[in-house]
Amino acid sequence: MTVVDQTPSEPTDARGRVAELHSLREQARRGPSDRATEAQHAKGKLTARERIALLLDEGSFREVEQLRRHRASGFGLEAKKPYTDGVITGWGTVEGRTVFVYAHDFRIFGGALGEAHATKIHKIMDMAIAAGAPLVSLNDGAGARIQEGVSALAGYGGIFQRNTKASGVIPQISVMLGPCAGGAAYSPALTDFVFMVRETSQMFITGPDVVRAVTGEEITQNGLGGADVHAETSGVAHFAYDDEETCIAEVRYLISMLPSNNRENPPVHQTDDPADRRSDVLLDLVPADGNRPYDMLKVIEELVDDGDVLEIHERWARNIICALARMDGQVVGIIANQPGHLAGVLDIEASEKGARFVQMCDAFNIPIITLLDVPGFLPGVSQEHGGIIRHGAKLLYAYCNATVPRISLILRKAYGGAYIVMDSQSIGADITYAWPTNEIAVMGAEGAANVIFRKQIADAEDPEAMRARMVKEYKAELMHPYYAAERGLVDDVIDPTETRGTLIAALSMLRNKHADLPSRKHGNPPQ
C-alpha cells in the first residue's frame, strides 16, 4: 500500500485531533510503502525501525521529530514529503542506560541527506552531548540529496563539527549497514568505533565507476570498500560481522563496556571469577625461549574475568592486540604485543592502532594494562620511507599524555626503543612488573655482542666460539631477569601464576589516581 502525502483535514474536536495524531504517527512508523519494506528485506537488510528495536531495550525508544518533513521544492520534491524525511532519531536505553540513536531509512529517498534530515541529526547529536550519553548512528544512506544542492552539503558539515565536539566527551559508535560514499564517510571516521556488515555495507570516497574512469582499475564495491577490506587492510572498521543481528548485538556489548561520558567510570559488573585466582597454565602458554612464538590472546583470556575479551581491530595490524575486558568486575583496556604474528614487532600500522586505543581509554577513564614481549621496531626501507618515526611517535605521545592508571608487565623480550614506547616506567607507567623470563635490553644479546665485541670476535682463532662466549657473558651481566629490578626500572619481578591477583591489586590501589596535564589549549601530536 502506497501512502499519499497530504495535509490532513482539520478535526473538529479533541478526540478528532487525538485520532489524527495517532493516524499520522502510524503513517510515519509504517514508512513509504509495503513494497519499499519488501525491497529492503530482499537485500538482506532490516528497516531502520527494526534495527533500532534490536539495539535498544524493548519498549524504551522515544522518537524525536517523527513528523518532520522537508520544505524543498523543485525536481519533484514538492509532491513527495514523507514523514521523518528519511531519518529516525531519538533515545532509549541499553541495559538500562540512556543511549541516543539516529538511523537512516533507506526506503525514503534512499536515506539521502537533505536539510531537514540533517537538522534532525544535528538536534539528536546536541541532545546526546548535553545529556552526556553515547550516540549510535545506524548508517544506510545514499549520501547528499542532490535535489537540495548545497543545503545538503552544509548538513554534513554540521554533523562533522558535532562529531568533533563530542570526541572524547561521549562514546560515538558508527554502524555501517548500507552504502556510505563521498564526504559522508568522514563522519564514521571521526567517531570512536566503526562496525560493518559483510556484503551489505561499503565505505569509500570515490566509487568503482570513478576509479575505473580515472585509473582504469576494475573493482567491485565490496572489493573497494567492503567490510573485510576495512577490517583487514585499511583499518577503517574496528569490527566486521556476517549479519545485522550479530553486529547490533555486539554494539550493545561494546556499550556495556564504556562509560556514558568522560566524567564517569565504566560500569562495574559483579563476577564469580576470584580476584586471586592462580593461573598455572601461564607457565606453559609462554615459552621461556624468546625465539618461540605463542598466542598472547590466550594469555589475556587467562588473566581477565571469565576469559571474556572484546578485541578491537582484531584483523588489522595483528602484531599488536588492543582489547577491552574486565578484571574483578572493572573494565580495563589491554594493549599487548602478539608474538604469534611478526614476532610482535611494532610497525606503522601497529603504532597507529595502539595510539588510537590508548587515547580512547584515556578519554573514557579506562585503566590501561600493557603486556610487553617486543623485539623492537620492524626494520626495512618501506617502514622508514613510510614514516615509522612519525607513526611510532604517535604511540609514544598517546602513552605519555594518558592520565588514567597505567600498569606494565614484561613477559619476555623488551628491546630498544620499542620497550620505551610500550609504556615503560620512564614514560610514566604507574607501576611496572616483570616475569622472571624477562629480558630488558637495548637489543638482543647476539646483536649486542656483535657490536661490543666485534674486534675480539674477529681476532679470535675460533670466531664462532668467541661469539657464543660473548653472548653468554652479555646475557649474564646485562640481561638477567633481575638486572632491571636491581636498578629500579621495574617495581617487582612476580610469579607468573600470581599475575591476575597482582594486577587486580595494583588496579585497586590506582583506582582514585589523579593526574593533571599542563594548562594548554591542546597538544600537537605527531601526524
Which range in 142-146, 180-184, 327-331 is most confidently predicted, on average pLDDT? Answer: 327-331
Secondary structure (DSSP) of 485-511: HHTTSSSEE--GGGHHHHHHHHHHHHT
pLDDT at 121: 95
What is the pLDDT of the chain when averaged over all its residues?
90
Mean pLDDT of 286-314: 95
pLDDT exceeds cutoff 90 at 496:
yes
- DSSP SS3 for 61: coil
Count of residues for the chain? 527
Burial class (CB in 10 A: 0-12, 13-18, 19+), 126: middle
Identify the three-state secondary structure at position 21: helix
Q: For residues 401 and 517, is the Cβ–Cβ distance under 8 A?
A: yes
Going from the C-alpha of 132 to that of each of 61, 103, 129, the distances in angstroms are 17, 20, 5
Flag whether pLDDT at 507 surpasses 90: yes
Residue 479 in this model has a pLDDT that exceeds 90 = no
Residue 2 φ then ψ, to 5°: -90, 135
pLDDT of amino acid 2:
45
Q: What is the pLDDT of residue 7?
A: 55
- One-letter identity of residue 408: S
Average pLDDT over residues 357-377: 97
221-256 pLDDT, tens digit per residue, is 999 999 999 999 999 999 999 999 999 999 999 999
Residue 283 confidence (pLDDT) above 50? yes
DSSP string, 377-440: BPPSHHHHHTTHHHHHHHHHHHHHH--S-EEEEEEEEEEHHHHHHTT-GGGT-SEEEE-TT-EE
Encoded amino acid at 337, one letter? N
Helix (H) or strand (E) holding 352, with range, is helix 348-363
Q: Which pLDDT score, from 0 to 100, does residue 30 have? A: 80
For the stretch 454-464, pLDDT in tens is 778 777 878 78
C-alpha cell at 376: 623492537
Question: What pLDDT does residue 77 have?
Answer: 63
Mean pLDDT of 6-11: 60
Q: What is the pLDDT of residues 22-67, one digit of tens each?
A: 887 887 788 788 888 899 999 999 999 999 999 999 999 999 988 7
Q: Is the dihedral of CA 365, 367, 373, 374 positive or negative?
A: positive
Supply the pLDDT for residue 75: 60
Q: Give the pLDDT band of residue 155 (cuts 50, 70, 90).
A: confident
* Tens of pLDDT, residues 398-453: 999 999 999 999 999 998 899 999 999 999 999 999 999 988 887 666 776 677 77
- Whether the predicted pLDDT of 12 surpasses 70: no
Alpha helices for 100-229 (secondary structure H): 115-131, 150-166, 186-190, 208-215, 221-225, 227-229
> What are the catalytic residues?
182-183, 417-418
Residue 82: its pLDDT value, please? Answer: 80
In the predicted structure, residue 193 carries a pLDDT above the cut 80: yes
DSSP string, 250-292: HHHHHHHHS-SSTTSPPPP----S-TT---TTHHHHS-SSTTS
34 is written with which cell numbers? 509495503
